[in-house]
Every structure is written in structure tokens, then in C-alpha cells.
Amino acid sequence: MSVTRFRFPFVEMPEAAIALREEVRQFLAEERENGGFVPMADCWASAMSPEYSRKVGQRGWLGMTWDKKYGGHGRTFLERYVVTEEMLVAGAPVMAHWIADRQSGPQIIKHAQPHVRDKVIPRIVAGECFCAIGMSEPNSGSDLASVATKAEKVDGGWRVNGTKLWSTGAHGCDYMITLLRTSPPDEKARHEGLSQFIIDLKSPGVSIRGIADIGGQVHFNETQFEDVFVPDDYVLGEVGGGWKMVVGELALERSGPERFLSSFIVLQEAMRLLVNDPSEKTRQVLGEIVAKIKTLRRMSLGIAGLLEEGASPEMEAALVKDGATLFERELLEKLRAILPQHVLASSSGLLPAVLRDGILRVPSSTLRGGTNEVLKGMIARQLGMR
């Protein structure tokens, strides 16, 4: 039922996904109990544990939707959705594998040379190989087509020089999917001459320097390439076809549950305190928050359903990311306002830690993966305004 331009169909989880959810919940409960992890806010971008990622791989929960013939598990988008949302809500340390599982793997399967694909994909699925995204640079943020890091043709491959910035998790990754200039910029055709490479971060000439964020934590990096040699077969897809690939990649990653569940752990922990003698304001805030989460989940899951059908709901995905990331800020602002002040001052306990970390991660949610201003521009284009 819909009389508007937007479609977020009802999605009923298949039985397999329900059984899987129970399995994942049990795994998470055991892991937590055995000290396998301490829940963290914004875990998908700030809690890195290769050991944990290996366990997730062993369970068969990485590369879930990828074809079995490439080493994936051939399961549905909805089953993957269940696994990811459960992990996020638990605040589990999923950062190491997040990007490889969400976007690099699918790109490699689609565009890499078969022998490169066969070397990398099974290791991603096993939770033993992690990827970073090398798009942004010191002088290229929203204006991604202006990247200056360049690859020059040499015998048998390419020589790469330049600097990538903000590459999340690169310090713990094996590869970076890197957007490079393979021919000089042309002001009349800005999106041409760009290519994506799979760069082995252990290659000579690569240096990675961690950058502390506002909370003093190191999660993203500056990655420098100095005469780094990349063999021809590590070019992703066509030379010069990088822009289209990047645009598709970003569209794919936009509407997942990580856009509105990064701080769910804060809400859950806060509830333990708020159930005691709640004020009218507390009740109102909780009602408003839950109304929004339910709505966002309906929308995000609806998009997963559309992807399952083979549709590409780009405008819907952009709308979800815009609304969801704004909600992440609203959630923490509202929770903070109804919690007693001593919570933030407390040095022990889960709630103070996740609340503090959550608040300090807030500015990143409307920046990473394309800012909300850029998103709104895309929505306006889809609405026919530009």
C-alpha cells in the first residue's frame, strides 16, 4: 500500500532468519559472559578485534550473501540483516571485518580478476582478511572526483603515489580498495580517468599513521603511498571505470542498520536506570525514541527486501541514511537530557562508558560515507530538482 514515490515494503523474516537470530543471540550472550568482549558504542567503527572477527567467520556469518562458488554462504540479504543488527545492538567488536563484509567483498566478487578473487574472498569469509576504503584525501572529501593520488603505468603494473586520509581501520587491514587517478584530470570530464585498485597494505612504500579522533582514540588513519607497485591484475574492473564503481558501492552501504543502531546499547543500558520512577519527560522521550527506531527499522529492512528482489532503491536508501544519522544524534542528546548528571561523571559501569563514547562519536555519523549535505543533494536530484 503506497501512494507516494517512496516504497518501503513490509518484510517478513523467513523462518531460517528467525532460527539464525536465536543462534546469534546465544553466541553473543556467551561471548559476553566469557569476557569475549565488552560492549561498545559505535562498535562497527570503533571496536576492532581480529580474534572476534575470526570467530564470527567460523560461525559462517561473514560473506553470507556471496555465492558459494566463490566461498560465500549463499544466504539471503535478510539473514545477513539479522546477523548485523544483532551484532550492532550487542555492541560487539565487529569493526575489523565490517567493511570487507559490507562493501569490499561484493566489489571484489563483481570486479576483480578471478584468481585475485579466489585468493581474497575465502579469507574474508574466514574472518582472516580485512579491508579499508581509500577514497578521501587531504584535498578531496565531498568532492571525491578531485582525488589526486595517482597511478602511473609501469611494466607489469602501476606505480602509486599520494596520500589517502581517514581510512577507517587501515592499521589493522590487509587491503585497501583505493580510488586513484589513472589519467590526468580533465575539467570537462571530471569523473573519467579514475580507477579502483586493490592495494596490499604490506607492500613496500605504504606507510600508515594513526590519527586520534576527538576522544583521543585511533580508529582512522593517514595512508601514504610512495612508489608503491601494484600488479596489473589488482586493478578492480576496467581501468578508468572507478567512478561508476564508487558510486554503486556507496549506494549499497547507505541504508544498513548501522546507520541508526550505533548507539542502541546506550539506550538499552539507560533503560535499566530509567525504569525506576520515570518522569513524564522520560516516558515521552522513550516513546519518541522507540517510535523513530521502529520507523527507521521498517524503512531500512524494506530496502533490504527490495535488494533481495533485485531492485536498486537509491532514493529510499539516501533518505534512510539522512534520517537515520540525524536520529543517532537526537538519540544521545535526548538520553543525556533525561539521565541523572552523575552518570557521565561515574568512572565505572557500562552506561557511563557507552554514553561518553557514544556522545563523542556523534559528529562522525553525519560525515562518514558521504555527508548529509551531499546526501540531500542526491535526494533533490532524484526528486527532479537538479
Partner 1 sequence: MSETGKIIFDTASRIFEDLSTAEVINAAENGQWPEALWQAIVESGLTLTWISEEAGGVGADMLDGFAVLKAAGGAAVPVPLAETMMAGWLQAKAGLPVGSEPMSVVIGGLHWDGEVLNGSVTGIPHGRNVKNLVVILDSEEGAIALCCKADDVAVRPVAGLSGEPWDTLEFKGVKPDQLGALQDGVDEAAAQALGALIRCAQASGAMAQALELTIQYSMERVQFGRPLAKFQALQHSIAAFAGQVAAINAATDSAAETLARNNRVDNDTWVEIAAAKTRLEEAVNEGAAVAHQVHGAMGFTYEHQLHHLTRRLWSWRDEYGSDAVWSVRLGDEVLKWGAEALWPKITAVSNPR
Ligand X SMILES: Cc1cc2nc3c(=O)[nH]c(=O)nc-3n(C[C@H](O)[C@H](O)[C@H](O)COP(=O)(O)OP(=O)(O)OC[C@H]3O[C@@H](n4cnc5c(N)ncnc54)[C@H](O)[C@@H]3O)c2cc1C
Contact residues for ligand X, defined by CB under 6 A: 45, 132-136, 141-142, 166-168, 220, 364, 367-368, 370-371, 373-374
Enter the DSSP assignment of 148.
-
Q: How far apart are CA 315 and CA 231, in angstroms?
A: 37
- Are the C-beta atoms of 117 and 128 separated by less than 8 Å? no
Nearest residue (CB) to ligand X, 112 versus 133: 133
- Rule CB under 8 A: say whether 337 interacts with partner 1: no
Annotation says 187 is catalytic: no
Nearest residue (CB) to ligand X, 123 versus 368: 368
Query: Which parts of 1-40 interact with partner 1 (CB under 8 A)?
Result: 1-6, 8, 10-15, 18, 21
From the CB of 379, what's the least distance to partner 1, in Å?
4
Selection from partner 1, ligand X, none that 205 binds (CB < 5 to 8 A by kind) is none
* Long-range pairs of 203-206 with CB within 8 A, sequence gap ≥ 24: 203/228, 203/229, 203/230, 204/228, 204/229, 205/160, 205/229
From the CB of 212, what's the least distance to partner 1, in Å?
32
- Rule CB under 8 A: say whether 385 interacts with partner 1: yes
Q: Which residues contact 271 (CB under 8 A, 6 or more apart)?
A: 286
User: Which of 64, 132, 286, 359: binder of partner 1 (CB under 8 A)?
Assistant: 286
User: Which of 213, 295, 308, 371: binder of partner 1 (CB under 8 A)?
Assistant: 295
Q: How far apart are CA 1 and CA 369, in angstroms?
A: 31
Q: How far apart are CA 143 and CA 346, in angstroms?
A: 42
- Are the C-beta atoms of 181 and 150 separated by less than 8 Å? yes
- Rule CB under 8 A: say whether 54 interacts with partner 1: no
From the CB of 338, what's the least distance to partner 1, in Å?
10
Nearest residue (CB) to ligand X, 19 versus 211: 211
* Total residues in contact with partner 1, by rule CB under 8 A: 60
- Pull the grid cell for residue 6: 517512496
Nearest residue (CB) to partner 1, 1 versus 204: 1
Selection from partner 1, ligand X, none that 142 binds (CB < 5 to 8 A by kind) is ligand X
Which phi and psi (to 5°) does residue 286 adopt? -60, -40
- The helix (run of H) or strand (run of E) holding residue 341 is none
Nearest residue (CB) to ligand X, 41 versus 45: 45
User: Which of 316, 358, 361, 370: binder of partner 1 (CB under 8 A)?
Assistant: 316
Q: Which of 85, 137, 249, 253 is catalytic?
A: 253
Q: How far apart are CA 353 and CA 357, in angstroms?
A: 6
Query: Which parts of 359-378 interact with partner 1 (CB under 8 A)?
Result: 373, 375-377
Which phi and psi (to 5°) does residue 164 adopt? -105, 145
Residue 207's alpha-carbon distances to 38, 60, 71, 136, 170, in angstroms, are 31, 33, 31, 16, 10
User: Which of 250, 299, 306, 307: binder of partner 1 (CB under 8 A)?
Assistant: 299
Selection from ligand X, partner 1, none that 13 binds (CB < 5 to 8 A by kind) is partner 1
Runs of H (alpha helix) within the chain: 15-33, 43-46, 50-58, 77-90, 95-99, 105-111, 114-125, 242-252, 258-261, 264-274, 280-308, 314-338, 342-345, 350-365, 372-382
Could you list the residues that contact partner 1 (CB under 8 A)? 1-6, 8, 10-15, 18, 21, 85, 89, 264, 267-269, 271-272, 274-275, 278, 280, 282-288, 290-299, 301-302, 316, 319, 322-323, 373, 375-377, 379-380, 383-386
Residues annotated as catalytic are 253
